Amino acid sequence: MYLLWHSASEEGVYPSLAAFGLPNAVASPNILSVFEIERSAGGEPVDFQVIYTRSRINNTLREKFVGTRLSEHPSCGPGSMIWSGFAEIAAAPRPLLVSLPYVGPLSGYRSTSEIYLPLLGEQGRADYVLAGVVLLEREYQGNAPNGS
């Protein structure tokens, strides 16, 4: 997904939401979503609204997700790890790779590997976050010694 995003970038300028090619982008993480960064009059991020989502795994999302905001989900609101990642990319737009505990409805998953990529809006600033999520059956351990 990062390579697709990078190839859609031009001369160091992040791609726009329109240029990225959703919903036909070929990237296939378990979950692919786009969030609009909602900002205060001063430009500070105040929430993140889901405007697009696609999932390869049935029943990944407990309820309707498109049209909702992160603050409306108990495990995703201010102070949560996911909120911190979105706030970080909104404040300093750049690719961000995170691993989080899995808090969804499926019992077989323990953690996630997630990439957040900024997308430009009509004003030429990072107004959107493209999020790709891969669900993992075990806790992400990074590069563990001895191949474990």
Q: Which domain holds residue 63?
A: 2-141
* 131 lies in some domain: yes
In a domain, 148, yes or no: no
Predicted local confidence at residue 75, as pLDDT:
82
pLDDT at 30 > cutoff 60: yes
Q: What is the DSSP string of 96-127?
A: EEEEEE--SS-TT--EEEEEEEEEE-TTSSEE
Estimate the share of the chain in helix, then strand, then coil, as percent rounded to the nearest 5.
15, 35, 50
pLDDT at 9 over 90: no
The residue ranking higher by pLDDT, 49 or 76, is: 49
146 in any annotated domain:
no
Residue 128, pLDDT score: 95
**Residue 25 domain-assigned?**
yes
Close Cβ partners of 68 (under 8 Å, ≥ 6 residues apart): 49, 50
52: in domain: yes
Q: Which amino acid is at 6?
A: H
In a domain, 147, yes or no: no
pLDDT-wise least confident of 32-41, 49-58, 64-73 = 49-58
Q: Indicate the average pLDDT of the chain.
A: 81
Residues 84-99 pLDDT 10s: 999 999 999 999 999 8
With a pLDDT cut of 90, the percent of the chain lying above it is: 32
Considering only residues 144 and 8, tell me which one the structure prediction assigns the higher pLDDT.
8
Q: Is residue 95 assigned to a domain?
A: yes
CATH of the domain at 116: 3.30.450.20
**142 Ramachandran zone, left/alpha/beta (phi>0; psi -120 to 50):** left
Burial of 24 (0-12, 13-18, 19+ CB in 10 A): exposed
| Domain annotation covers residue 118 | yes
pLDDT of 24 reads: 62
pLDDT in tens, 100-134: 887 777 777 788 788 999 999 888 889 999 998 88
Q: How many domains does the chain have?
A: 1
Strands (DSSP E) found in the chain: 31-39, 45-55, 96-101, 111-120, 126-136
